[in-house]
Amino acid sequence: MTVTVDSYNLKCKRATDALVLIAKDWEKWSDGTVTLKRRVDAAKGLWSFNLFEHDVSWTSSAAKYLRDMAKSGGTVVLAVNEGDRFSLNSTSCYVVAVSTEFPLTGTQNLRYFSATFREV
């Protein structure tokens, strides 16, 4: 899977695509019954990825970059190209979560991380 965030080409093991609605629900009394009404103001994409890096220093790490962007509240440009399976054109996103795992096996410089992005 080809996942790109800004200038980083990420190695992806798994991806999740979701839709978050920005909506308001309310109850309305009509003809003796209560009905639920809904107004959808916007629909935003939410994407999560399980990623990994090998032989990348922490200072050059995409995981570190994403953590820094999440802390600063900055935006990144996310793109996914899986052809007919799934594609996402360059989309401006907030990094809403990043978690990193450092397996302690041998002397490998291997890093697994998960990142979640929300469309601006």
Task: Kindly state whether residue 32 falls inside one of the protein's structural domains.
Answer: no
Domain count, the chain: 1
The percent of residues above 90 in pLDDT, for the chain, comes to 88
User: Pick from 54, 19, 47, 44: which is nearest to 114 by CA?
Assistant: 47
How confident is the model over 26-34, as a mean pLDDT? 94
Task: Kindly state whether residue 47 falls inside one of the protein's structural domains.
Answer: yes
Task: Kindly state whether residue 35 falls inside one of the protein's structural domains.
Answer: no
Task: Kindly state whether residue 31 falls inside one of the protein's structural domains.
Answer: no
Judged by DSSP in three states, 5 sits in strand
pLDDT tens string 49-61: 999 999 999 999 9
84 HSE (CA, 13 A, CB side): 0
H helix or E strand, kind and range, residue 66: helix 62-72
Q: Which amino acid is at 120?
A: V
pLDDT at 33 over 70: yes
Task: Kindly state whether residue 8 falls inside one of the protein's structural domains.
Answer: yes
The whole-chain average pLDDT of the chain stands at 94
Q: What are the residues facing 20 on neighbouring strands?
A: 44
Task: Kindly state whether residue 36 falls inside one of the protein's structural domains.
Answer: no
pLDDT tens string 66-107: 999 999 999 999 999 998 999 999 999 999 999 999 888 766
Task: Kindly state whether residue 81 falls inside one of the protein's structural domains.
Answer: yes
User: Can you read off the two tokens belonging to residue 87?
Assistant: 């594609």
Domain that holds residue 75: 2-22+42-119
pLDDT at 35 over 70: yes
Task: Kindly state whether residue 30 falls inside one of the protein's structural domains.
Answer: no
